[in-house]
Amino acid sequence: MHRRNFIAATATAAAVAGLGPLAPLSCALAAENGVTDTEIVLGHTGILSGPLGAPIKVVMAGAGLAFDAVNAQGGLSGRKIRLVSLDDELVPEKAVANYEKLLGEHRAFAFFGCVGSGTTAAAAKVLNQSGAPMVGGYAVSDSAREKVAGSGYFVRATFAREAQALVQHLTTIGVSRIGVAYLDNPGGAEVARLVEAALATLQLKPAVAVPVKGDGSTNEAAGKALADSKAQAVVMYLGGGIGGEVMKSAWTAGGRQMFYGMSIVPGDVTARLVGEKTSGLAISQIVPYPWSEVDAGTREYRQLAERAKVDIGYLSYEGYVNAMVMVEALRRTGRDLTRAKLHATLKSMKLRVSNMEVDFTGASNTGSRFIEMVRVTKEGKFLR
């Protein structure tokens, strides 16, 4: 995997020598950290280990394509972008420590692509006090986005919009018994409620709602619960290979339901696990088709990915699109780069990235409403 711009480090919080746990924030507030004559430092914290870490690494590799391309052309106003990434294992306390470490030790100017709902919500105070913008988060619930309003700028459509699109699609084709399988964490529980709310607008209730542990330990039990529910279709909010394992467990237990994934479900990974039965899987995608021959931006992404040996697909493409938004915001802010000016730029920003409209000028801190339903083949390819 291409990792030139993906700098791994430990997630252990470090205090500035002799100063207590608030020292990193104090340092961050003392000056505009992370900007020199030659570079701009961006910070990232997310889960990089275990079943849920693998897809995040692909997302960040896609982001690295955009940052590397800019750096290869001399950077922005002569400054190259450097991304420092820390593993928080999706634990809120570790995430907060990472944010503080990125601000204090690594002197991050802004944050990019940070992962998770509980982790993002826990960092709201740190983000607010530092004044550092955060752009392009991944798998961040709608309520966590609200908690970091004024600090966070999210590119991907909300999960409420994804839930509505999936329920509308299923009911349009005559499916009324709809279950949901979701990661057993605060973000997953919220998504389950969003699916329930989308069903309620049609006077329907979930056939079943099944939490699934992120370490994969409950895959078999979850699959059996789905099979026993007799749901016609199941909406999955499951990252990494967990969705595929749950699907297999459901079928082993006698289930016959169709499966529909939210955008965090990696279709290619699922296809490798499920094999022939993958052709029944559909996923709601929040970035356009990465294999488009029409859009010049998409073609450029594929060329960069091929040269860098980064997997071409929705995960790396989302990272690339998010990074392009980050780059354009920095570019528009100009040479006199401060956090306050970057915030002002983001709040006034409208742009089109690879055939997708992004607009932060409204009341929401979510820039895109794009949703597209695609099917996954047994080979792990996507059909629009």
Please report the pLDDT score of residue 19 as a whole number.
Answer: 35
User: What are 205-256's pLDDT values in tens digits?
Assistant: 999 999 999 899 999 999 999 999 999 999 999 988 999 999 999 999 999 9
Q: Average pLDDT of 54-81?
A: 96
* Helix, strand or coil, per DSSP, at residue 338: coil
- Torsion angle, CA of 29/34/36/38, rounded to 10 degrees? -170
C-alpha torsion sign, points 118, 40, 87, 302:
positive
User: What are 322-350's pLDDT values in tens digits?
Assistant: 999 999 999 999 999 999 999 999 999 99
Please report the pLDDT score of residue 2 as a whole number.
Answer: 44
Please report the pLDDT score of residue 328 as a whole number.
Answer: 98
Alpha-carbon distance 235 to 29, whole Å?
44
| pLDDT at residue 273 greater than cutoff 90 | yes
Domains of the chain: 7-156+294-359 (3.40.50.2300), 159-285 (3.40.50.2300)
Please report the pLDDT score of residue 280 as a whole number.
Answer: 85
pTM across the whole model: 0.86
Please report the pLDDT score of residue 10 as a whole number.
Answer: 35
Q: What are the residues whose beta carbons fall under 8 Å from the beta carbon of 79, sequence distance 6 or more?
A: 35, 36, 37, 38, 39, 40, 337
C-alpha torsion sign, points 215, 218, 219, 220:
positive
Share of the chain above pLDDT 90, in %: 84
| pLDDT at residue 24 greater than cutoff 90 | no
User: What are 283-295's pLDDT values in tens digits?
Assistant: 999 999 999 999 9
Q: Average pLDDT of 186-211?
A: 96
| pLDDT at residue 5 greater than cutoff 90 | no
- Residue 92 has which token pair? 């809120």
| pLDDT at residue 25 greater than cutoff 50 | no
Q: In the sheet that 110-112 helps form, which strands lie side by side, from edge to edge?
A: 7-9, 80-87, 39-46, 110-112, 134-135, 152-153
Q: Average pLDDT of 84-106?
A: 97
